[in-house]
Amino acid sequence: MLVDTKEMFKKAYEGGYAVGAFNVNNMEIIQGIMEACNELNAPVILQISKGAREYAHPLYLTKLIEAAIEQYPHIPVAMHLDHGPDFELAKASVDDGYSSVMIDASHDPYEDNVRRTKEVVDYAHSKGVVVEAELGQLIGEQFDAGEGGAMGEGIYTDPDQAVEFVERTDCDSLAVAIGTSHGAYKFTKGEPQLDFERLEKITEKLPNFPLVLHGASTVIPEFVALCNEYGGDLPNAKGVPEDMISRAAKLGVCKVNIDTDLRLAMTGTIRKELVDNPSNFDPRKYLGPARTAIKDMVKHKLEILGNVNRI
């Protein structure tokens, strides 16, 4: 069933777990995710980025998710716009039937972020749709934050500013920057480290308010190795350790975004199938195993998040 994230996050907050938010681009990814959620009785967020909408066309992705909901009517599913860059795309997604949208104006000056977020919130709420916003800036390469909160090109979320931001925008959830980053190379400067002290402060100042962790793929080593073994070039790829994700889920983080791990699982499996069976030209013969790899990886993620038997 299609739902928004309000009840989903309320249960996650009270239960000390996080809901997996998985980026989708095609049928096999959606099927693999839904099969995993069905087997583990897990609610799920299927999220669509601007790039995914451009790649697959919004109508196809919407209809694929509708088909998944019809096949598994007992699974709570939120259809979410990931990293919406502007009001126009957020509005289009609301009008397309999404139950949740994100406006990411985090790289704008603070007042502009507030203004642009509030504009989306006002429209989305008028249509019964919830809004995720972002405060602080994630980057693709991680640096030590230091006392001032700067991390190279990014900025850690300020706890006091987070309170003001939520009050002024009326957003329903907030993505925070505590040391995660996008891509397969999250920690190129030393050992993985997240600012849990900062996260605890934000949670204390925003009690019962759902927080979101972006850039939190664990970059599972077996899939990195699989990609590299069959012609890939991902040396020293490193993600967020699983124990850190589990800890964040107990500190107010109700939603964890996962995209890179999906890409690695699918790409590595397809590479292997094509190398092992070079005469094959039937897409079903390599997309089928890739779908299974997605399912198995998502099941593993749901365990890490504590998002099992939550329906």
Catalytic residue list: 82
For residue 99, give Cα distances in angstroms to 55, 62, 96, 178.
21, 11, 9, 27
**Dihedral over Cα of 153, 214, 251, 299: its sign:** negative
- The helix/strand/coil state of 89 is helix
289 burial class (0-12, 13-18, 19+ CB within 10 angstroms)?
Answer: middle
Q: CB–CB of 162/203 below 8 Å?
A: no
Distance CA 181, CA 306 (A): 22
Alpha helices in 206-241 (DSSP H): 221-229
Distance CA 106, CA 196 (A): 21
Question: Of the candidates 260, 272, 267, which has an alpha carbon nearest to the alpha carbon of residue 301?
Answer: 260
Token output for 40: 């583990």
Token output for 275: 């190398």
Q: CB–CB of 180/194 below 8 Å?
A: yes
Provide the strand spans (E) within the chain: 19-23, 44-49, 77-84, 100-103, 130-135, 150-151, 154-155, 173-176, 211-213, 253-258
For residue 3, give Cα distances in angstroms to 7, 11, 23, 152, 272.
9, 14, 17, 38, 37
First to last CA, the chain: 12
